[in-house]
A and B are shown apart, each in its own frame.
Chain A
Amino acid sequence: MTEVTNQANLFTETKLGRNKRMTEFIAGTVFLIMALMMIVPLLMIVGYLFYKAAPILSIDFIFSNPIRGMREGGIWSPFLGTIYLVVISLLVSTPIGVLAAVYLNEYARESWFTRIINLAVVNLAGVPSIVHALFGLGAFVLFAGIGRSILAASLTLAIMTLPVIIASTREALKAVPFAFREACWNVGATRWQTIRGIVLPNSFSGILTGLILQVSRAAGETAPIMFTGAVFYKAIPEGDVFAYSILDQCMALSMHLYTISTQVPNVPDALPYGTAVVLLATVLLVNTTAIVLRVYMRSRKKW
Chain B
Amino acid sequence: MASMRHRLETIAEPAIELIIRLCGISSIVFVFGIFFFVFREGASFFFGGLDLVEFLTSPEWFPSSVSNKRYGVLALIAGTFSVTILAMIIAVPFGIGAAIYVSEFCSPKLKETFKIVIELLAAIPSVVWGFIGLTIMNELIIDIFNAPIGLTVLNGGLILALMSVPIIVSIGEDALKAVPDSFREAAVALGATRWQLVYRALLPAAKNGLLAASLLGVARAVGETMAVLMATGHAVNMPGSPLDSVRTLTATIAAELGEAPLGSDHYQVLFIIGVLLFSINFIVNLTADLIVKGVRDE
Q: Which residues of A contact B (CB under 8 A)?
A: 20-21, 23-24, 26-28, 30-32, 34-35, 37-39, 41-42, 45, 48-49, 95-97, 99-100, 102-104, 107-108, 116-117, 119-124, 126-135, 137-139, 142-143, 159, 162-163, 166, 190-192, 213, 216-217, 219-223, 226-227, 254-255, 257-258, 261-262, 272-273, 276, 279-280, 283-284, 287-288, 291
A213–B26 touching, CB < 8 Å: no
B123–A117 touching, CB < 8 Å: no
Instruction: Report B111 CB to chain A, min CB distance, Å.
Output: 10
Q: Pick the contact of B17: A48, A192, A213 (CB < 8 A).
A: A192
Instruction: Report A257 CB to chain B, min CB distance, Å.
Output: 5
Q: Which residues of B contact A (CB under 8 A)?
A: 9, 13, 16-17, 19-21, 23-28, 30-31, 33-34, 37-38, 40-41, 93-95, 97-98, 100-102, 105-106, 114, 116-121, 123-128, 130-132, 134-136, 162, 165-166, 169, 193-196, 198, 216, 219-220, 222-226, 230, 250, 253-254, 257-258, 270-271, 274, 277-278, 281-282, 284-286, 289
- Complex CA gap A12/B181 in Å reads 32
A130–B105 touching, CB < 8 Å: no
List the B side residues contacting A37 at CB < 8 Å.
Answer: 94, 98
List the B side residues contacting A254 at CB < 8 Å.
Answer: 125, 127, 226
If the complex has contacts A123-B31, A126-B219, A288-B120, are A257 and B131 also in contact, measured as CB distance less than 8 A? Answer: yes
**Which residue of chain A lies nearest to B191 when distances are taken between CB atoms in the complex?**
A20
A121–B27 touching, CB < 8 Å: yes
If the complex has contacts A34-B101, A124-B27, A192-B13, are A291 and B119 also in contact, measured as CB distance less than 8 A? Answer: yes
Interface of A, helix, strand, loop or mixed by DSSP = helix
Q: Pick the contact of A130: B30, B128, B250 (CB < 8 A).
A: B250
A279–B128 touching, CB < 8 Å: yes
List the A side residues contacting B286 at CB < 8 Å.
Answer: 119, 123
- Complex CA gap A250/B69 in Å reads 34
**Which residue of chain B lies nearest to A25 when distances are taken between CB atoms in the complex?**
B195
> Can you report 18 A-B residue pairs in the complex whose CB atoms are below 8 A from each other?
A32-B101, A35-B101, A38-B169, A42-B162, A99-B23, A104-B24, A120-B27, A127-B31, A128-B222, A131-B38, A132-B34, A137-B257, A138-B38, A162-B27, A221-B126, A257-B128, A273-B135, A291-B116
- Complex CA gap A38/B33 in Å reads 37
List the A side residues contacting B17 at CB < 8 Å.
Answer: 107, 191-192
List the A side residues contacting B281 at CB < 8 Å.
Answer: 123, 126-128, 131
- Complex CA gap A54/B98 in Å reads 33
If the complex has contacts A28-B105, A192-B17, are A287 and B250 also in contact, measured as CB distance less than 8 A? Answer: no
**Which residue of chain A lies nearest to B14 when distances are taken between CB atoms in the complex?**
A192
For the complex of A and B, 3 pairs with smallest distance between CB atoms: A220-B125, A128-B223, A103-B24
If the complex has contacts A126-B284, A279-B128, A283-B123, are A134 and B28 also in contact, measured as CB distance less than 8 A? Answer: no
Instruction: Report A207 CB to chain B, min CB distance, Å.
Output: 14
